[in-house]
């Protein structure tokens, strides 16, 4: 792996997905906002040093349904929690989308973004939790990929973003489905699985069927407003090894603290914001929670993480 000779400090913004045919990337930017993204593919090495502190990731301006501008934090603020300082959180134009169906308030660009077709989905994660969520048409597949779903199904379509959020709230209210699963719970689920791929798929489909039935009985159903749909979502091919390891309880916890120090491994699998990595000559797959790198500044280099001794199963 080649590294910039100047070895700049690179702010990590997490793992980003494109289309099902694209490789995900670890998004890295230097202080001039130049891209140093690392392609995440099976067998690719990655080494870095984590510098002290956590930093604001800036905010977004929404120009229309297909164009956004990411604005780096003007004050380069350090933060203790979340991903934004108070100033960037207030300036972020995407925040209004979550309440638009109730308030009706949105800027011109965000309003254009919301006035396109949206999808309602039911998704399940490694910890056995199931949620209802929404995605605009351009991010229909990508949103579920970035969230790290194990299995998911689309249950509704709406002509615009306000209508889809009304459907989302209706499913939450009538069926009791949550709208959020914490990232840490997803990672723990990979390591402490209490379900199987077969059982989780059956659970997802049962909940999806109940959501479809509810949507199909709502007033206002129609081709120009919203409708119930049946369509399965497929996880990224690169997630296969992590999902297989989760299903057989074969995954190991990454042995080092990602908030500091030097780290190096070979990427084996990617599931949402989680990496499955190989360490040294060990054959095991270790689960690395890449959300812990968001807001950190990294320096790339030829580093390595030692593999711990793994006790063989007695059964």
In the chain, % of residues over pLDDT 70: 96
Q: How far apart are the first and last CA of the chain?
A: 40
Alpha carbon distances (Å) from 13 to 35, 59, 84, 149: 11, 12, 11, 20
Phi, psi angle pair for 167, to nearest 5°:
-65, -40
Handedness of CA 192, 270, 198, 120 (dihedral sign): positive
pTM for the whole structure: 0.92
Condensed to tens digits (0 to 9), the pLDDT of residues 23-48 reads: 999 999 999 899 999 999 999 999 99
Average pLDDT estimate for 167-179: 97
Handedness of CA 226, 173, 94, 120 (dihedral sign): negative
150 pLDDT more than 50: yes
Cβ burial, residue 314 (10 Å; 0-12/13-18/19+): exposed
Average pLDDT estimate for 292-307: 96
Condensed to tens digits (0 to 9), the pLDDT of residues 83-127 reads: 999 999 999 998 877 777 777 677 787 888 888 999 999 999 999
């Amino acid at each position: 792996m080649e590294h910039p000779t100047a070895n700049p400090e690179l702010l990590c913004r997490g793992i980003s997905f494109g289309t099902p045919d694209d490789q995900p990337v670890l998004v890295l930017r230097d202080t001039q906002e130049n891209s140093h993204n690392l392609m995440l593919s099976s067998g690719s090495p990655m080494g870095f040093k984590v510098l002290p502190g956590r930093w604001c990731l800036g905010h977004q301006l929404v120009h229309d349904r297909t164009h956004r501008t990411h604005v780096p934090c003007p004050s380069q603020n350090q933060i203790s929690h979340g991903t934004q300082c108070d100033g960037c959180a207030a300036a972020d134009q995407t925040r209004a989308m979550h309440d638009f169906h109730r308030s009706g308030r949105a800027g011109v660009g965000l309003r254009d973004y919301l006035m396109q077709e949206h999808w309602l989905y039911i998704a399940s994660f490694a910890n056995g939790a199931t949620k209802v969520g929404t995605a605009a048409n351009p991010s229909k597949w990508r949103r579920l990929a970035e969230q790290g779903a194990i299995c998911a199904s689309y249950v509704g379509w709406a002509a615009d973003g306000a209508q889809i959020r009304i459907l989302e709230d209706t499913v939450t209210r009538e069926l009791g489905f949550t709208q959020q699963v914490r990232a840490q719970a997803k990672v723990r689920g990979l390591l402490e699985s209490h379900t199987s791929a077969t059982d989780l798929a059956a659970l997802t489909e049962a909940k999806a069927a109940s959501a479809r039935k509810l949507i199909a009985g709502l007033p206002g159903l129609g081709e120009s407003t919203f409708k119930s749909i049946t369509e399965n979502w497929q996880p990224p091919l690169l997630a296969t090894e992590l999902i297989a390891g989760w299903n057989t309880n074969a995954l190991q916890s990454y042995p080092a603290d990602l908030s500091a120090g030097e780290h190096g491994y070979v990427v084996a699998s990617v599931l949402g914001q989680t990496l499955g990595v190989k360490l040294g000559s060990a054959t095991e797959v270790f689960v690395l929670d890449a959300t812990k790198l968001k807001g950190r500044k990294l320096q790339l280099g030829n580093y390595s993480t030692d593999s711990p001794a793994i006790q063989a199963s007695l059964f």
